[in-house]
Amino acid sequence: MCGIAGIISSNPSEEDLRKMLEKQAHRGPDNTGSFLDAGFAAIGHNRLSIIDLSADANEPFSDNSGRYYLTFNGEIYNYKELKEELKDFYDFRTSSDTEVLLAAYIHWGKNCLEKFRGMFAFGIWDTEKKEFFAARDRFGVKPFYYTFKDDSFYFSSEIKALQIIPGTDRPNEKVWANYFTYGTYGMPEDTFYENISQLPGGHSLQFSYREITIEKWYDFKAEVAKIPSGYSFEEAKKKYYNLLKESILLRFRADVPLGFNISGGVDSSLLLALVNLFGDKKNIKAYTFFTGDERYDELPWVEKMIATTDNPLSRIKFSSEDVEESSKFMSKAQDEPLGGIPTLAYSGIFKQAQKDGIKVLLDGQGMDEQWAGYDYYFKNMDAGSTIQGTGSGIPFRKNALASDFAALAEKPSYPQPFDNKLQNMQYRDLFFTKIPRALRFNDRVSMTYGVELREPFLDHKLVEFAFAMPAEFKIKNGIGKYMLREILKPLVPEDVSYAPKRALQTPQREWLADELTGFTEENLNKLKLSPVAAWFDFSEIEKEWKAYKNGDNESSFHIWQWINAALIFRD
């Protein structure tokens, strides 16, 4: 897990590249490297060493001929198997997955992407053809941002690295208007900044002679269609369980200490059970956060599960006193709006892991989307809502926006490539709403502390298989993730396997109106003085804030949106 950066230009500035790498130095504390092809390209890299810790695997990494230079962020988990395929075609000099990726590209071209099981964003500079090729993994676990300036192409792992370039800090007002009106975070190519784009997950990019070509290399619908139909429930359960074990085992490949995150839900329980299937992993450390509020804390559930495995457990407490400092720090780290106080609490896990010398954590992201775990998949609810933990209330306040700014908002429309409502909702959440948003939060949170986060449940083989299963395997008697719960049932106490879905929460609603009243009002006042004050109707904000303090607080998301905007635009 690292940071990548580069400039493709007739006059690439080494000084600009240095500044870009400094902006995202936290992503790669182990080494910073660069390569200059004068008059054509400057390629850089921030390294977090996970596999092959030697200096031989530092990047930008060149092939044996010196023609290609690679900068790579992520992990190719099946690199050992691919290396075996490639050994007759390439003379390997390291034990890194980085070299395997480059050898695969040299041998198979862009078709190498289909062979990778992993998370990745990378760029390859061809010094002979003077062409740049980049790609992003299937679900966009690893980020790739880019911009143009004066016929020059810039790319990086974080938005802040591109904002050394004048004009790149101008907000994308339509994305912001949609965020305040509908809670969306933009389409896959969007960012919250007007002149910065992102390469969507499952896409590749080629830049040659000032021309950019973007192609979709991962066709999810086509891959799902390849899954055979007609599995019985027991056959499908066995097949998926074997895929799960394979995915976990692949993600144990590392030359550094590993740990994992755990909450009290079904997904974390399964992760815990799977980790402990492998005898040499039973001492792997678990991390969880709590607030001390029994209405929200999952610590009792976590401790009950851990008691069955005896894994070491690190409990990280997050209190209202931590919010102010953490929110300022994480808003800067995220570059774009973050999810709320639960994201701040979650960040404490990575801070502690860094102190403990843990460089890789496993997390249970992705099961709700592939096995239909959210309420709106099977209840008569607004299928457009993707904000959890807001009760039945509307989590947005369009009335608090200035009319001309509100007019920019346009309710997003998402593709519906499948012939049924359930799969189309799952598809939306996988590629447009829930997963992209969570992955961005998670990447920034983890990399801020130089910790690699791995999501074994987002292995594409797992997701494709689960997605292809019939609705009755996913939902039964009004309960989502049915097959997953049946897989988990013999591994943990039954009240854990059939525990209801709980959003990862903190007492955000109560804290903002009580312990954090001063913090909230301070930021609402700062919003009035911010560069984006013209976006808001502050008389309406005052009315909403007064109503919130008086008990109209079923949802706190709109309050957090205003606070977060004040924090982002405070400078």
The predicted pLDDT at position 389 comes to 45
Tokens 């801070």 sit at which residue? 351
The predicted pLDDT at position 280 comes to 65
pLDDT tens across 68-126, in order? 999 999 999 999 999 999 999 999 999 999 999 999 999 999 999 999 999 999 999 99
pLDDT tens across 252-276, in order? 888 888 999 998 788 988 998 888 8
Q: What structural domains does the chain harbor?
A: 3-218 (3.60.20.10), 232-383+412-497 (3.40.50.620), 508-568 (no CATH)
pLDDT tens across 177-223, in order? 999 999 999 999 999 999 999 999 999 999 987 889 999 999 999 99
- Mean pLDDT, residues 376-398: 67
Q: Which residues are catalytic?
A: 2
Neighbours of 317 (CB within 10 A): 13
Question: pLDDT grade, residue 504 (50/70/90)?
Answer: low
Q: How does strand 197-198 pair with strand 203-208?
A: unpaired
**Rounded to an integer, what distance in angstroms lies between the CA atom of residue 501 and that of residue 419?**
27
Question: pLDDT grade, residue 54 (50/70/90)?
Answer: confident
The predicted pLDDT at position 73 comes to 97
As beta bridge partners, residue 313 has: 286
Sequence-separated (6 or more) residues with CB below 8 Å from residue 118: 74, 75, 76, 77, 78, 79, 97, 137
137 carries a ligand binding annotation: no
- pLDDT over 90 (residue 146): yes
pTM, entire model: 0.94
Q: Which of 357, 338, 368, 406 is nearest to 557 (CA)?
A: 338
- pLDDT over 90 (residue 511): yes
